[in-house]
Copies of this chain bind each other. A is one copy, B any other.
């Protein structure tokens, strides 16, 4: 799924069913892991419960997970809501390296200060790296390591061409307005009342083929997709059932994300 820009739309209500902060944190962790496993480019957190705090909580946890461990303390000030992040599983993606840096490696770095030579950047090494460009301070960018000696680490701003984590978009808006803000080429909804993906495999494949930016929508525990966009112009291009003959009456959002991304991954891989 790495050739296309894929956005998944997640409702703020996914964590509303429990008051337990650990379980909330773990559930959001599952969403972050699902995105990384299937190389989703963006997670859009939309507001279906008029609760900006919940939207922010979910977005913060997702951003925290996507930040390499060596930058987390710099990027995220200690907060009450993030106190259970210790239970989050690591993403284990290439942008969270566990080995020592080598020339040619990519690293995310946090810009610390400007000097005459350029910008000093924390890339998680035992010393700061130098980027010869003048960059904004206190921000995260992606870099390539071009020189590595006992004295210096020289880096250049560059994004790799392999999967490099997801972006988190916090719209604080409802699903309909969030889709309009993101403007994907193809919007796919999942529903147990739609045709099974297996019976319309070719139709789904041909529609996806021309889409550069694919959006996959997920409803919440309180309202399905149709209720969330009712009364407005139909914005869903294609609806599919990714769990033919499901055994349970309902499927939870965090379950649906793994199941549905698994189905689309197979579909895109079979192209």
Q: A residues within 8 Å of B by Cβ?
A: 1-2, 18, 20, 22-23, 26, 30, 33-34, 36-39, 87, 89, 91-93, 163, 196-198, 201, 242-252, 255, 258-260, 262-263, 265-266, 269-270
Contacts and interface: CB of A to CB of B under 8 A. Distances in A.
Given A87-B23, A91-B248, A243 B270 contact: no
Contacts of A269: 196, 198, 244-245
Nearest to A91: B248
Given A2-B245, A259-B258, A266-B263, A250 B198 contact: no
Nearest to A166: B247
A75 B98 CA distance: 47
Given A33-B255, A266-B266, 5 more contacts: A23-B87, A37-B251, A198-B269, A198-B270, A258-B258
A149 B91 CA distance: 58
A1 B248 CA distance: 13
A247 B39 CA distance: 5
Contacts of A248: 33, 36-37, 91-93
**A-B pairs with lowest CB-CB distance, top 6:** A39-B247, A92-B249, A262-B262, A244-B269, A198-B270, A259-B262
Contacts of A26: 23, 26
A26 B21 CA distance: 13
A89 B252 contact: yes
Contact of A1 (B245, B252, B258): B245
Nearest to A33: B255
B198 A255 contact: no
A209 to B, nearest CB: 16
11 contacts: A33-B248, A37-B246, A39-B245, A91-B248, A92-B248, A92-B250, A197-B266, A201-B270, A243-B262, A259-B262, A263-B263
Contacts of A250: 92
A96 to B, nearest CB: 9
